[in-house]
Chains A and B, each alone.
Chain A
């Protein structure tokens, strides 16, 4: 048999094994590259740029707080909903302390969470639901719980996640992100964690794919050859 015959056969039979995955790679690859990553991250949906801290006015001295938290190993002075606040890190976790009054101001309650969500959200849909979650949904699986989930009724089903401990925005999720994440899962063939690029399945599939591509290139040599006139 002619090598061209084997090239075509190889390409065809390997396609049987890897064809669908190759299609998924292509679809995923195109989507992930064609969609701006900033858009996928939802930068257009949230607003987190904080204003600077006030230069005047009396703020509680950290020494006062340290007295209250003997095991304090650090703090952060920042603004939350416009108000200066201490994020106190201690052996037992993180607390929020009002930097003006010195009163314990956390964790974020429902009313605060609503305000946080509304001030961060950049779309024009109403807040649809607000929930304190003890178990992280798949889309924010790597973030610590508990967390506030604020869902908006826009076309992208935007959800913003906030930490009740610090009030920080943990993640922004919307339909395009979810599609991206799903395609990424298919791309790296880790159907559970969606993050392990070293899994055996992917390694095997990528090897077969390499053979597949090489057989295609091999076949190309013949596809463009004219029948030689003797």
Chain B
């Protein structure tokens, strides 16, 4: 339920969000504007003593009898200083002389006197002006109206009825501001002072929805624990198992923390690129026993089968009671390994191979498909600390990189093994793409992890933990199709090497997409492998290629694979697929495979999320 409430909250917010700001702001302004000032009380003279009524010469009954209009009421009234009768038919009113009953007009002189008597302050009145047309400052009144403007700082304006000389309204600039703000508050842009207009009722309904759904989301997203310091919360014990079922360790945590936080406090740093922000999807753990219902973040990163078996994002998983969780990577999570940089080779302008010699030999768990988490320390680098060979100078000079490259806090970034460890003489081989950040108008800083890697020189020390991940070659000798792009070369290359090295005999296809020849890594290496192993074929697909010569295919890699292999394949059901590359390529390829009726179990992929 929460995800769609969230979605609707967001959309309704989008539609009337601005109105919400206006309601709050206008409400605030109205509460700040002093009501007495708005009503011009500070320019209102104190009420005069009631004068005794003089004896009239004509009885009101006589006037009523004489009037052609029906009269509902006759009352005594003072027009400026002159006693008159005021008659009313319920809708309008008029004045009659108390001596002869003749009608009494409201003159400019009367109005000036009335206004002067009503006003205190240092403004001077302008001469009264009979309005041709009634403005919104006197809406709600009908009939002729006189206007008297005063020359004070508040721009006081009095409105006097042309029917009976009563003061109808006392306006000033504070009132005008208040009225404008009220118009915004009531969404009554025709200024009829009508807060029953359909627009505001609709917005109000949206507003109520926003408030109700907001309260729901509030309770859904706040954990009680967040309000209480960790040490006041009850302690819980979290038992951590490896993926193989072996118990790794018990850690103490506090109720209300997330599993990610609890493990982190105990030195067990789960893989993460987002630091617990529920957006990288790397911190997946499995809950043993009863897992809480998956949240929308869980559903975004974990497929339905794995959700059913209890996989959740640790950074979205609250610790509520003692519990048991399984983490992939097992003991590797605790160990920090140290390695020395052996070499850093620019394979293409923005793909660089790093060979790292670990201090302690690596175990057999470092398999192709696995990735490491490189511990990126805080750093401050100069732009020319990033070295690059002469022939890539142009590519680099077209980037707009800032003079200083800074990483304030240590972070961790994931990089896949790009060659089997045995094949690399016990070393770790990584292939890292440089993230230049968003270029152009809205610049974004270069990637923290890749900048760090690109500053490494032989002899430097690097820390990492791992291996992690469940991207791996499946046992069995099914026909294999590798489809990749960009830095996705790394794990696929390791897998291909590992297979061929171990003497695999099944057919192995590798389709790799790059923009152009310059950006394609390891082309010669792959061509050599294809010459050497009859069961391995290599297809380079170039999306930009002007130079697509012999053996080069032009287009997008998934489309090329479809045309060149999948469409005419006799038995796709018996193939296995290994995908790795940029998100768009990955998504397009996965939907292509799904369209071809290939089951999810046949497809393994690694998502770098960049």
Contacts and interface: CB of A to CB of B under 8 A. Distances in A.
Interface string A57-72: 1110111001000011
A121 B27 CA distance: 37
A133 interface: no
Given A32-B195, A75-B75, A62 B56 contact: yes
A77 B74 contact: yes
B64 A19 contact: no
Nearest to B433: A230
A12 B582 contact: no
Tell which of A36, A75, A213, A228 has the most Cβ of chain B within 10 Å.
A213
A53 B35 contact: no
A33 interface: yes
B534 interface: no
B13 A216 contact: yes
A37 interface: yes
A183 B76 CA distance: 40
Given A53-B73, A56-B65, A229 B14 contact: no
Contacts of B200: 33
B24 A2 contact: no
Contacts of B197: 33
A86 to B, nearest CB: 9
Given A53-B71, A66-B55, A197-B30, A217 B21 contact: yes
Contacts of A228: 438
A76 B74 contact: yes
A209 B211 contact: no
Interface residues of A, number: 71
A19 B210 CA distance: 11
Interface residues on B, range: 35 or more
A220 B72 contact: no
Contacts, number: 188
A118 interface: no
A197 B13 contact: no
B31 A33 contact: no
B155 interface: no
Contact of A197 (B35, B73, B208, B609): B35
Contact of A72 (B53, B73, B207): B53
B341 to A, nearest CB: 25
A216 B76 CA distance: 58
A79 B222 CA distance: 65
B76 A75 contact: yes
Given A33-B204, A217-B17, A224-B14, A202 B76 contact: no
Given A35-B196, A49-B90, 17 more contacts: A19-B218, A25-B23, A29-B204, A51-B72, A56-B65, A59-B59, A62-B56, A62-B59, A188-B31, A197-B35, A198-B35, A203-B32, A213-B20, A217-B18, A220-B10, A223-B10, A229-B583
**What 10 A-B pairs are tightest by C-beta distance, nearest first?**
A52-B70, A206-B28, A59-B61, A74-B76, A30-B204, A76-B75, A26-B211, A210-B24, A73-B50, A209-B24
Interface of A: 1-2, 5, 12, 15-16, 19-20, 22-23, 25-27, 29-30, 32-37, 49-59, 61-63, 66, 71-79, 89, 91, 99, 188, 196-199, 202-203, 206-207, 209-210, 212-214, 216-217, 220, 223-224, 227-230
